[in-house]
Structure 1
Amino acid sequence: VSKIKSFLPVNLPRYLTKNYLVSLLSNHIVFYPSPISLSYAWSFGSLAGITLVIQMISGIFLSMHYTPNINLAFSSVEYIMRDVPNGWLIRYIHANGASMFFIVVYAHTLRGLYYGSYMEPRQILWCSGVILLLLMMGTAFTGYVLPWGQMSLWGATVITSMVTAIPFAGQALVQWLWGGYTVANPTLNRIYSIHFVLPFVIAGMSLIHLALLHKVGSSSPIASDTGVDDVPFYPYMVSKDLFAFTVYLLVFGIFVFYFPNVLNHPDNCIPADPMKTPAHVVPEWYFLPYYAILRSIPTKGAGILAMFGSLMVLFLIPFINTSEIRNTTYRPLFKIFFWLFVSDFVILAWLGQKPMRKTFIFAGQIATAYYFFFFLVVIPVVGKIEYALVHHKSES
Structure 2
Amino acid sequence: RGMATREVNGMGTGVVIDARGYILTNHHVVDGVRHINVTLDGGQAYVAQLVAHDRETDLAVIRVRTPQPLPTIHLGTSGDLMTGETVVAVGNAYGYEHTVTSGIISALHRNVQVNETQQYLDLIQTDASINPGNSGGPLLNLDGEMIGLNVAVRAGAQGIGFAIPVDKALDIATRLLNVERLESQWHGITPLAVDGPKGPVTVARIDDDSPAASSGIERGDELRQIGTTSIERPLDVERALLGRRVGDRVPVLVKRDGREVSLDLVVAAKPGRTRDAEPAGQFQQATWEAFGLILTPESASTLRDRGLPLDGGMRVVAVRPGSSASTQGVAKGDILVQIHRWYTTSEEDVNFILNRADQVAKLGPVRFDIVRGNERFFGQLALGTEGATTRR
Pairwise same-fold verdict (TM > 0.5): no
More helix by share: 1
TM-score, normalising length: structure 1: 0.21
Using CA pairs under 8 Å that are at least 6 residues apart, name the structure with larger relative contact order, 1 or 2. Answer: 1
Q: Which has the higher strand share?
A: 2
